Amino acid sequence: MGKTCSLLVVLTLCVVVVIAFSFTSVEARRSSHMKKTKPQKHHKHRSPPPDFESSPSHQTPPLPPYGPFPTQSSIFNVLSFGAKGDGISDDSEAIVAAWKAACNVPLATVEIPSEYKFLIKPITLQGPCMPHLVLQIDGTLIALPNVGAWSKSSLYQWINFKWVHNFTIKGTGTVDGQGSNWWSLSQVQHIKKRSNYIPNMKPTALRFYASYDVTVQDITIINSPLCHLKFDSSNGVKVNNVTISSPENSPNTDGIHLQNTQNVEIHHSNVGCGDDCVSIQTGCSNIHVHDINCSPGHGISLGGLGKDKSIACVKDIVVEHINMQSTLYGVRIKTWQGGQGSVKNVSFSDIQVSDVKVPIIIDQYYCDKNHCKNQTGAVAINGVKFDQIIGTYSVQPIHLACSSGIPCTDVDLINIQLQQSPGYRGFQQALCYNSFGKSQAPLVPSSIDYCLGRSGNAVKRITKSHDNIC
């Protein structure tokens, strides 16, 4: 709190004022700009692709589809910018060229047409652009399948959206990261020996960086080498009706990954992958995740937070109306020992679990090796509600392992009804270590009822004292 926060408030206000101003001027410029540039747009760039005749759906020229005034939108079809769409030719330059042209026009659409497959190398699609830019993905984008073909500098991500705002991705198409070669360790080790592989570096499929007011809807994202859809240092994100899919045995392939990002709604989507369906990392706040099917995967996670004694701040998270089927975890908060900062005001509610190994978990001893050094510091956890978590589990219903130095406080367990999955043996009891709060019936198994400690003021003081760094 204190200085840092008031400084933040002032900065935020400045940003808002600047944005408001630039929007006003953009709107003002828009009407005059459009009259001048619009008419020739489509004709100038339209030369049919070689296999134009073979695809009946492309025999009609792309018409501006929106609004009563056709001149208010402009379609930039990548085929008109030299893309082949045969799945073999490198169409990266064509996409970047279409993007750059569309970027300068308000209400423009970059069209990735259906029934074509575009092989794309790692690219950056950069803003700022004129408002209302749309990337319409109806066809398929595929990444380079051969690990060795990725240059060292391209290993962070495949398609990088940078500094875009008021931007939408939509369409019925597919973004295919072709990650299978990345997942198999042997291939990666082979590559490592002879060329440019950096250990533990794998590309994310779609990454947004420093972007705001962004919508991603309807598309399918599959087989990413690492994260499928990542938002980094962004603000104002909507993800709606997307399908994300990679196999259960694809390591580290998060579905949707948020980092340093605020004001997010993720909803009505199907996510299945080899790691977290939704992963919420440090710097995130006001995140609303709802109506998601998660299967397979590691569930919905906050963290790992506080690695290498870092400061982590996460707050105001709502996760509700979720279906989880045969996932490793359900809803989870994981922090490393030795971290700083806090997680607060988190609500997980109406989570239906079916054959989930551990549906409810707080793990403040998160560790990616066999064992990590014991450390006293921890990311403080305060105010976490688990409400209406219902279904079946196969290992342990609840596992709350809080830091021995800094207890978890205001942890509420309300209406938890977890039955054992049929056919499993060796179930573990509910575990709550150094975890305080209140529970409210119905609670099944009944051991949940006396799992939490009642938090006295002393306990709350310890947590509060570690809370002021965020």
Q: Give the interface with ligand NAG as residue ranges (CB under 6 A).
A: 131-132, 166-168, 172, 213, 215, 218, 241, 286, 316, 318, 345, 371, 374
Whole-angstrom CA distances from 111 to 30, 94, 172 are 22, 11, 12
| Neighbour-count burial of 456, counting CB atoms closer than 10 A to its CB (0-12 exposed, 13-18 middle, 19+ buried) | exposed
E strand or H helix at 450:
none
Instruction: Report whether 306 contacts 379 (CB < 8 A).
Output: yes
Look up residue 77 and give its two tokens. 């079809």
Residue with tokens 């596992």: 399
275 carries an active-site annotation: yes
Name the burial class of residue 74, with classes exposed (0-12), middle (13-18) and buried (19+) by CB atoms within 10 angstroms of its CB. buried
- Measured distance CA(383)–CA(304) in Å, rounded: 18
Nearer to ligand NAG among residue 51 and residue 213 (C-beta): 213
For ligand NAG, give the closer residue by CB, 79 or 221. Answer: 221
In sequence order, the β-bridge partners of residue 244 are 221, 271
C-alpha distance across the termini of the chain, in Å: 7
Query: Do 109 and 75 meet the contact criterion of CB atoms below 8 Å apart?
Result: yes
What is the 8-class DSSP label of residue 453? B
Which CB sits closer to ligand NAG, 86 or 213?
Answer: 213
> Shortest gap between Cβ of 135 and ligand NAG (angstroms)?
11
Shortest CB 207 distance to ligand NAG, Å = 17
Active site residue 298: yes
Q: How far apart are CA 135 and CA 320, in angstroms?
A: 29
Q: Residues 91, 176, 254, 275: which is the catalytic one?
A: 275
Report the nearest approach of ligand NAG to the CB of residue 238 (Å): 7
Rank residues 75 and 317 by Cβ distance to ligand NAG and give the closer one: 317
Catalytic residue (one of 45, 228, 257, 298):
298
Closest CA to 245 of 224, 268, 260, 231: 224
Asked if 328 contacts 357 with a C-beta cutoff of 8 angstroms, the reply is yes
Structure tokens at 9: 């408030």
User: What three-state secondary structure class fits 230?
Assistant: strand
Taking a C-beta distance cutoff of 8 angstroms, is the pair 348, 388 a contact? no
Sequence letter at residue 281: Q
Other C-beta atoms within 10 Å of 326: how many?
A: 18
Catalytic residues: 275, 298
